[in-house]
Structure 1
Amino acid sequence: LGRKSLAGELVLITGAGHGVGRATALEFAKRHSRLVLWDINKVMDTLMSSLRLTSESAGHLGA
């Protein structure tokens, strides 16, 4: 079976600041998904910086 493109799909990720949640957010960013990220800890600035770098390297940057 073929894989569905995730480009432009809205994805909600909880626990996005660390571990599996962070890795998942980075993978969806590489696939050009629109992300809603949530984490109880205040580490989102670091994650957002990583996502910006990922998006810039792929040629796509959304605000």
Structure 2
Amino acid sequence: MNLKRIFGALLTALGIGGLIYTAIVFSSTSGETQDIKSLIIYGVLGIVFFVSGISLVRTTKDEA
């Protein structure tokens, strides 16, 4: 397996984890400013990691 594909899979897993954590924080939020800031930060980081991981896995060619 290629190192880029492993790194892409790791980024994808981190992105999924960040999005799941955002959903957990969203379900237990009370609407304070700190809650909204954490939602935005974790959500944006999760989306960035997920998209970059998927694109890295997709664009890396298999070399046997």
In proportion to residue count, which structure has more strand? 1
Larger radius of gyration: 2
TM norm structure 2: 0.36
With a CA cutoff of 8 Å and minimum separation of 6, indicate the structure with the bigger relative contact order: 2
In proportion to residue count, which structure has more helix? 2
